[in-house]
Chain A
């Protein structure tokens, strides 16, 4: 049996040979060879590298060891994009409904019990918020994914403070985590972007790996990814933080390394010990933390009645509807209604081809019995549907039901039912396989038959000088069922 080392060498040689035979990208090999040639300077803990000093980074030592800390203070007033960070002081408590929604013990409980929890849930204050954003060595929440940089932001009466912990190697992790746990004192909420399913679980995993079990209550979450999705899912190309801040918070970040590059840059630093690789990561993380604060202010204004004043009204009709729906869910029905009404007035004419929000908005008015608002929305949606390549029939159906049972205008109802049937036929012709639309087709045919009967009866009744055909209405059994 040959020595293990020799065998490993042969393995490596074989792999290299196969690689070159396979025609690996020469540039890649070049780079690989290049980094092999220079013996990596061990990052080590021997004093602080000059490049770190230039970034304003200092060594920090605690019971668990040493790590690096960068601290930046933004004295108030400090403007970040559209908002001044000092607005956080006023805006923080208004985030209470968001905190309640995100930290309910069980999300499936009835409305009543959620209200009772709301009563106990702490109201966010500017002092109790900890903004948190981590940069990790990989993806996912597996045990081998290490946060190498932890950025936190906190707010005092006078300033916003960003602190960034960094480990020069995984051995410094304990020290950085010890520092972080110290920062949790007095914190009621972690304000993050996707922190509920990423940053926080990763950190919990790190605590466990270091043999710690957190005791006491978990901090609450204010994960701004969820409200961002609720508002901007359909109107922004993506809900990445960088897009959101640029499009909605008026922040122009300028040159920035992409967050996805951070792991690669850190690996480079580990290989050659040159802190310059990390400069971009520091800046990126710092800006992310500031943007978290700006987002908190934005949502605070929305929930504090500041829409249209402190924060601009959404220009896009779809976004306005989603904002209304979001406000409605967060206990702001008046503000929501204001948005809906403004929409209802302009939406039928609005140019957007998106039918989704019109139908949803119309459904809200239907529930309130405000037909005069619902019908124009349906009509516009129906017009759009008839032009669409893959038409939906919802608006036609609503109109057919409305005209049959509410307005008792059977002629109009028949018109919409027949148009709906035409649309269904168009859909079916696109498919080879049966779909749920076959059932819809059958029910439409039934409806058309019934309407023809009613129309016939009506003309007969009119001739006979009698009133409306109530009996037929009940026979058809449409009303109670369709409005159930």
Chain B
């Protein structure tokens, strides 16, 4: 301890002090330490251009980490490569080195860089320009995105050596106008795809198709570029890269970068109401930990799961440390901030002026903010990969760093915090894409046909292309002449196709009690039942009534009220099985996978008196019906198994099990929890049996249900484990659900149902 400032001198000292604090340590469920790792390097390869060597020397790089050298060798051998190493291991050099090497030798060569966001693209251009300046080489690097002024676009198209853009721009602006990019496409040698792991799910499935189109255009101009990819840690980097770029890819994961000692502390807020299983707010606990770090002068990043939480935590923290640090030294960071402000915050973090930042996962990607010392995760980020990625923001090459994982009370968080082995002993999730989702595929076949006519014998994805083309010709989108299919519509197909999914849209909740204040958000699919007009919306224990729901604008206006009831909306979800693709009978269980049609329409809401739960009124909900044609997985219980219990008990058991599965499924699928839905039905429409359905919440499905069909045993076993391991008496929000929902026997009923089908842990 520095006696003058009262601040700790090092991370080690702070951690030692922490271990003496009883009030904190009693909530720590696990303390994991990763030892420091030395660097492994090799000399710069001889063939590297002397100018490039000089520039590297000027940046203080005299040798390469082993993974950087390996990437260079793969590229030199003409192969595609994906580099998978942790944050801040010098990943960008893995692709910049071979690209610059080639550009120095061949002025006509071109490269295209893809980043998932504009901000990342801008970082990259700054870095490349710096290197080009050191080399005194005329290598022109430009971003090409929505912000690029029209006046310089032509110059970039003709003369830019490295064009840095995002998949959306490639999709809607570059590929459809490829004849203006002749210079690029004729000479393209490299396509760099960084943050490969970000291209998963619906977005990734779209991007894989955009890359199919890109390759098609390159082929037309006689070029066949190499793909240089980089990814955060995922379980299947090579498979993912190969599916995304549609060709063989070398895996490069031999990390040679050094790392300091790293502490990962699992923290579970204390229980305040044992019977209801309620714990103290994770926001308050995160604030306590972050405040303590910041007061001791430790540069800290706090990750929160939603924008609103970011703001709440930011306000708390600024208040807490305003005496020690100025208000400007703790900042928020999230989507919705203007680019200029973001750049300012990033700069402040790098040069140390900003001591703390509260962020959504916007800072999870490789934006350069330097390396911080401590990280506090408010709630489990949703996937193992994300957790490592976020905690990687704290960690220097030398010296210790610490990450706190503060669990919220949702079942997934509780499961992880109590089963650290699950987290630590497991490789991170797979990134999955389903580029042949029929709707996504058709969208891009249209775009591709607009760009170049299709010829008989062409391929595009795994499905039989000629059937797709025939279909589009019947729909009068394409026109067939002999062996060719031509785009034959007035429209511009890329304009109507967005690469990003609709599930990312949220409804904002605005409190109008005094002025206008945003207090929360609800996802699009939850809106019809949670914030329909007249609903009572609970926020931090305060009751609000929804006065107006502006559905097209996605806003709900609420006013604070004090009433003795809550509302419960009925959502009429109809699930129709359209087609069974695969099925398997295992004892009492029939498991099926196929296509389903889901229609959901909120019908009425009931007003239910607090405590007594009597129904004291109701009203209609006027909202449009939502229809979804997608893929689903479901399992049904045999009649013998059903007969063992009353219909009511069966209902409670199914409900309890579904409540657990809804949280476990996203964990195993590495998808956003919003991407998959679970619906229990005591008497399913199509086979009259008790059934639990899962379906992909994206038109056409994105392969999640299909994967669940395969993961069935594993997930049910996990469910049994979770229910049994929960400390509550008869059901709580952290397992089968609160007793108000599943009854006093909910927990036992769910367990006996699992045992009935042979699931034991």
Instruction: Decide whether A and B assemble into one complex.
Output: yes
A138 neighbours in B (Cβ, 8 Å):
489-492
8 Å CB interface, A359-378 against B: none
Q: Which A residues touch B595, using CB under 8 A? A: 2, 7, 10
| Interface residue ranges of A392-431 to B (CB < 8 Å) | none
Indicate which residue in A2, A4, A140, A267 contacts B492 across the interface (CB closer than 8 Å): A140
In the bound complex, what is the Cα–Cα distance between A171 and B451 (angstroms)?
Answer: 15
- Is A469 in contact with chain B by the CB < 8 A criterion? no
A11 within 8 A of B: yes
CA gap between A22 and B15 in the complex, in Å: 62
Q: Is there contact, CB below 8 Å, between B479 and A170?
A: yes
* Least distance between B478 CB and chain A CB atoms (Å): 10
CB contacts (< 8 Å) of B490 on chain A: these are 137-139, 263-264, 267
Within the assembled complex, what's the spacing in Å between the Cα atoms of A462 and B164?
Answer: 74
In the assembled complex, the Cα of A146 lies from the Cα of B464 at a distance in Å of 27
**A8 proximity list for chain B (CB < 8 A):** 438, 467-468, 471
Determine whether the beta carbon of B481 is less than 8 Å from that of A142. no
Set of chain A residues within 8 Å of B467, measured between Cβ atoms: 4-5, 8
| With contact pairs A11-B438, A267-B490 given, residues A144 and B481 touching in the complex (Cβ less than 8 Å) | no
Give the segment of A88-96, A203-211, A216-224 that binds chain B.
A203-211
A4 and B468 contact, Cβ closer than 8 Å, known pairs A10-B578, A264-B490: yes
Partner of B179, one of A2, A7, A209, A270: A209
User: For residue A10, which residues in chain B have a CB less than 8 angstroms away from its CB?
Assistant: 578-579, 595
Q: B488's contact among A4, A18, A141, A267, by CB below 8 Å, is which?
A: A267
CA distance A169 to B182 in the complex (A): 26
Contact of A137 among B179, B475, B488 (CB under 8 A): B488
**A408 CA to B233 CA in the complex, in Å?**
81
Q: Is the CB of B481 within 8 A of A143?
A: no
B476 touches A142 (CB 8 A): no
- The one of B178, B486, B579 in contact with A170, judged by C-beta atoms closer than 8 angstroms, is B486
Contacts of B451 in A (CB 8 A): 143-144
Contact B176 A171 (CB under 8 A): no
The reply to whether B450 and A270 form a contact with Cβ atoms under 8 Å apart is: no
Q: What residues of chain A lie closer than 8 Å to B493, measured between beta carbons?
A: 144
> Is B484 in contact with A171, judged by CB distance below 8 angstroms?
yes
**CB distance B476 to A271 under 8 Å?**
yes
Return chain A residues, CB-CB under 8 Å to B489.
Answer: 137-138, 267
Q: Is B44 an interface residue (CB 8 A)?
A: no
The prevalent SS among residues of A at the interface is: helix
1/0 per residue, CB under 8 A from A, across B578-601: the answer is 110110000000000001010000
Residues of B within 8 A of A464 (CB): none
Q: How far is the CA of A8 from the CA of B492 in the complex (A)?
A: 23
Closest to A1 in B: B581
Taking CB as reference atom, which chain A residue is nearest B175?
A143
Pairwise interchain contact B481-A171, C-beta atoms closer than 8 A: yes
Whether A143 and B453, one on each chain, are in contact in the complex, defined by CB atoms closer than 8 angstroms, is no
CA distance A138 to B486 in the complex (A): 13
Per-position 1/0 for B154-195, Cβ under 8 A of A: 000000000000000000000011111010000000000000
Is B714 part of the contact surface with A, judged by Cβ < 8 Å?
no
Any A CB within 8 A of the CB of B627: yes
* A328 to B: closest C-beta gap in Å: 27
Q: Is the interface of B mostly helix, strand, loop or mixed?
A: mixed
A138 to B488, alpha carbons, bound, how many Å? 9
Task: Quote the shortest CB–CB distance from B724 to chain A (angstroms).
Answer: 37
In the complex, residue of chain A having the shortest beta-carbon distance to the beta carbon of B580: A2
User: Would A143 and B176 be within 8 Å (CB), given that A4-B467, A137-B488 are in contact?
Assistant: yes
A169 and B581 contact, CB distance less than 8 A: no
A18-B627 in contact given A2-B581, A8-B438 (Cβ < 8 Å): yes
Cβ-neighbour of A209 out of B452, B491, B492 (below 8 A): B452
Closest A residue to B493 using CB positions: A144
Whether B487 is near chain A, meaning CB under 8 Å from some CB there, is yes
User: Which B residues, 565 to 585, have Cβ-Cβ distances below 8 Å to chain A?
Assistant: 578-579, 581-582
B475: chain A residues within 8 A (beta carbon): 12
- Within 8 Å of chain B (Cβ to Cβ): is A14? yes
Give every chain B residue within 8 A of A209 (Cβ-Cβ): 179, 452
Residue in B closest to A260 when the chains form the complex, CB atoms: B490
Assembled-state Cα–Cα distance A2/B579 (Å):
8
Chain B contacts with A in 281-311, Cβ cutoff 8 A: none
Are A7 and B479 in contact, CB atoms less than 8 angstroms apart?
no
Q: Is the CB of A139 within 8 A of B450?
A: no
Tell me, yes or no, whether B202 is within 8 Å of chain A by CB.
Answer: no
- Asked, given contacts A143-B450, A144-B487, A169-B481, whether A4 binds B463 with beta carbons under 8 Å apart, the answer is yes
Chain A, Cβ-Cβ closest to B479: A270
Q: Which residue of A lies closest to B451 (CB)?
A: A143
Query: Among residues 429 to 485 in chain B, which have CB atoms less than 8 Å away from a CB atom of chain A?
Result: 438-439, 449-453, 463-464, 467-468, 471, 475-476, 479, 481-482, 484
User: Please, what's the 1-or-0 string for A1-43, where 1 marks a CB less than 8 Å from any CB in chain B?
Assistant: 1101111101110100010010000000000000000000000
How many Å from the CB of A426 to the closest CB on chain B?
33
Min distance, Cβ A389 to any Cβ of chain B, angstroms: 33
Residue of B nearest to A169 (CB): B481
Nearest CB of B to A193, in Å: 21
Whether B629 is near chain A, meaning CB under 8 Å from some CB there, is yes
Collect the chain A residues with CB atoms within 8 Å of residue B479's CB: 169-170, 270
Contact, CB under 8 Å: A143 / B177: yes
How many Å from the CB of B753 to the closest CB on chain A?
31
- Nearest-Cβ distance from residue B451 to partner chain A, whole angstroms: 5
User: Which one of A4, A139, A140, A170 lies within 8 Å of B464 (CB-CB)?
Assistant: A4
Report the minimal beta-carbon distance from B263 to chain A, rounded to whole angstroms: 48
219-263 of chain A: CB within 8 A of chain B:
263
Q: Complex Cα distance A8/B476, Å? A: 15
Query: Known: A4-B464, A10-B578, A144-B450. Is A205-B492 also a contact (CB below 8 A)?
Result: no
Distance (Å) between the CB of A246 and the closest chain B CB? 27
Which B244-295 residues have C-beta < 8 A from chain A?
Answer: none
Chain B residues lying within 8 Å of A141, measured Cβ to Cβ, are: 177, 180
Decide: A142 and B488 in contact? CB cutoff 8 A: no
Distance, CA A141 to CA B178, complexed state (A): 10
Give CA–CA (A170, B176) in the complex, Å.
18
Q: Which residues of A contact B484 (CB under 8 A)?
A: 170-171
User: In the complex, A310→B454 CA distance in Å?
Assistant: 54
Shortest Cβ distance from B436 into A: residue:
A4
Q: In the complex, which residues of chain A have a beta carbon less than 8 angstroms from the beta carbon of B182?
A: 208
Tell me the nearest residue of chain A to B221, going by C-beta.
A208
Given contacts A143-B176, A267-B490, contact A14 B449 (CB under 8 A): no
Contact with A along B481-521 (1 / 0, CB 8 A): 11010111111110000000000000000000000000000
Task: Give 20 A-B pairs besides A7-B579, A139-B490, A267-B490 with Cβ atoms closer than 8 angstroms.
Answer: A2-B595, A5-B467, A10-B595, A11-B439, A11-B629, A14-B597, A21-B627, A137-B490, A140-B492, A143-B452, A144-B451, A146-B486, A146-B487, A170-B484, A170-B486, A171-B484, A209-B452, A264-B490, A267-B476, A267-B489
14 A–B contacts from the bound complex (CB under 8 Å): A4-B468, A5-B471, A8-B467, A10-B595, A11-B438, A143-B178, A143-B451, A143-B452, A144-B492, A170-B484, A171-B484, A204-B179, A267-B490, A271-B476
Closest 4 CB pairs of A and B: A144-B450, A205-B179, A171-B481, A170-B486
